[in-house]
Amino acid sequence: MSKRQLSQHQQQRIEQRREGALHHKTAQQGLVVMNSGKKALVRLKDDTIHQCHQRANLANVVAGDNVMVWQNEQGESVIESLLPRRSLLSRPGFRGVIKPVAANVDQLLVVIAPTPGIDLDLLDRSLCYCEWQALDAIIILNKADLIHENYRDYCNTLAETYRSMGYTWIETSTKNQQGMTDLLAICHNKTSVFLGNSGVGKSSLTQALVPDITIRTQSLSSSTGLGQHTTNNATLYDLPFGGQLIDAAGIRTLELSEFSIAQPDRYWRDFQPFLGQCRFHNCTHSHEPGCAIQLAVAQNKIPLHRHQHYLRLLQDTNTLNKS
Ligand SMILES: Nc1nc2c(ncn2[C@@H]2O[C@H](COP(=O)(O)OP(=O)(O)O)[C@@H](O)[C@H]2O)c(=O)[nH]1
Ligand SMILES: [Mg+2]
Ligand SMILES: [Zn+2]
């Protein structure tokens, strides 16, 4: 219905409800759905979405942030303060400046797939990042329908390896719905973010979790007037069954090699039983004699690929610190 068709009475009631939603000087709590630089979209408790300015000298808010919003004299909605974050997902930006991307995330859904190929290096780095940031990690082997018979044993061994470290490992397929009930249960009432290489099926899985995502994205981009540009910003979607998904196009592989994680061995779960047993207290587990980690690898107590990926991260970190 267009505005012209609304009766005066109806219009009055709409105005009243608007005023009720945002009282001048009475701050209300809201959830940031998206931040497109100057403006942020904030959803209030009554489910209305408001385009907000940020108070000057307030740190940039990101999708998932809890904020307090009020209305200024000009009738504009203003983010007045940022409530404490329980977690913050960020990525290294220009000149090593860390840029926040999404807040209050509970878990990362790390997606791998037989095509374009299971990237265990990225998986291990993502798991390290999660340990470092105290986020839960869920491993999703997607495109299970494409796992060839000859590949089955290998996939089962991997599942066993990561489950024995305490990680959740599920197999899914957006083609035959395998594992979708598991995925829904994992995402229930949590805030999740997908990670993984291009082509593993993140968009397809997102579509499965938020079936009307295209419509919602369109309505968000029209309400910011920014068009398709908005899809580059992290955006929060409500899951129909409870919980949220933050779609963060810019951090899908997190550029993990650019994080300078001190002593990554602390975040390699399968190393933990052996740490502190090396001959040298500052052992890097790469070349030192009397290394308990290298011994554990030789004795098949730690998978070779886990140690190799650890060494690669260590190398990248060292290169980073020297440059
Ligand atoms: N066979 C199969 N193909 C899939 C599955 N999930 C996604 N795909 C296909 O894989 C391709 C890449 O998927 P997409 O969701 O765009 O991956 P993204 O780059 O991670 O977002 C598309 O052609 C999808 O149709 C699956 O479970 N099984
Ligand atoms: Mg995609
Ligand atoms: Zn060692």
> Does 43 share its domain with 150?
no
Which tens digits make up the pLDDT trace of 87-146?
A: 999 877 667 677 888 999 999 999 999 999 999 999 999 999 999 999 999 999 999 999
Q: Looking at the CA of residue 197, tell me the nearest atom of ligand 1.
A: 20
Which is more confident, 31 or 222?
31
Domain boundary among 82, 106, 129: 82
Dist CA 83 CA 80 (whole Å)? 10
Ion ligand 3 — residues with CB under 5 Å? 278, 283, 285, 291, 293
> Does 119 share its domain with 267?
no
Res 238: pLDDT: 94
> Does 112 share its domain with 170?
yes
> Does 66 share its domain with 108?
no
pLDDT above 90 (res 230): no
Q: In this structure, is residue 256 part of a structural domain?
A: no
pLDDT band at 212 (very low <50, low <70, confident <90, very high): confident
Look at the alpha carbons of 246, 248, 249, 254 in this order and tell me if their dihedral is positive or negative: negative
Domain boundary among 233, 251, 269: 251
- Residue 70: give its domain's CATH number: 2.40.50.140
Computed on alpha carbons and rounded to an integer, the radius of gyration of the chain in Å comes to 23
- Residue 307: give its domain's CATH number: 1.10.40.50
Cβ atoms < 10 Å from Cβ of 9: 8
Q: Looking at the CA of residue 196, tell me the nearest atom of ligand 1.
A: 20
Number of domains in the chain: 3
Instruction: Say which ligand is closest to the CA of 180.
Output: 1
Q: Which residue of 109, 174, 207, 210 sits with most ligand 1 atoms within 8 Å of its CB, as the best mutation to test the pocket?
A: 174
Q: Looking at the CA of residue 252, tell me the nearest atom of ligand 1.
A: 20
Task: Identify the domain containing residue 117 by its residue range.
Answer: 88-251
Ligand 1 pocket, residues with Cβ under 6 angstroms: 142-143, 145-146, 173-175, 196, 198-204
Q: Per-residue b/e over 232-267, b at no fewer than 16 CB within 10 Å? A: ebbbbbebeeebbbbbbeebbbbebbebebeebbeb
Closest to 205 measured CA to CA, from 194, 216, 221, 218? 194
Residue 286 CA, ligand 3 centroid: distance in Å = 7
Closest to 139 measured CA to CA, from 170, 174, 173, 180? 170
For the ranges 94-108, 165-179, 248-262, which has the lowest average pLDDT?
A: 248-262
Q: What's the rounded mean pLDDT across residues 167-190? A: 98
**% the chain with pLDDT above 90:** 65
For the ranges 55-69, 174-188, 200-214, 252-266, which has the lowest average pLDDT?
A: 252-266
Residue 79: strand pairing partners: 54, 69
> Does 227 share its domain with 277?
no
**Residue nearest atom 13 of ligand 1, based on CA coordinates:** 201
Instruction: Say which ligand is closest to the CA of 142.
Output: 1
Q: In this structure, is residue 95 part of a structural domain?
A: yes
